[in-house]
Amino acid sequence: MNAASEPLAPQLLADLLAAATAARERAYAPYSRFKVGAALLDEQGRIHAGCNVENAAYPQGACAEAGALSALVLAGGRRLRAALVVGEGAALCTPCGGCRQRLREFGSDDLPVLIADPSGLRARFTLGELLPASFGPDHLQKDACA
């Protein structure tokens, strides 16, 4: 079992939720009014947050997960241990298809992807459940497709 599949301690889960919720409050969503926050836990135990940023020229906006990944890379992170996304509404606010692939670049199939709303955690998935049979960096290794 690797670090991504280990259960998250309650305080760490609370910290991820707090970071994603705070990021969501800073989102720039004047068109959809649908604010999203994301928090990512890296291999060093650091939390990186991001929010969605819309643009009048659709689809030039940026997803919360993309912003959090940029913060992770800027801080020197290279591997994900967990991801948490916060949105509001009756439906679960799971990462879009593009962000699922972005998460796959830095995470494995067993990466926990936690879905929340402002009242708390609503669902848990693995990245493999959200993006089955995915293509990732390991496919580009010399003998991966042999």
The strand pair at 47-51 and 80-86 is best described as: unpaired
Q: How many other β-carbons are positioned within 10 Å of the β-carbon of residue 15?
A: 16
Closest by CA to 109, choosing from 77, 131, 138, 83, is 131
CA 58 to chain centre: 22
Residue 65 is among the residues annotated as catalytic for this protein = yes
Catalytic residue among 65, 88, 105, 129: 65
The strand pair at 112-117 and 80-86 is best described as: parallel
Q: Are 96 and 66 in contact (CB under 8 A)?
A: no
- Cα gap 20→22, rounded to integer Å: 5
What positions carry a catalytic annotation? Answer: 65
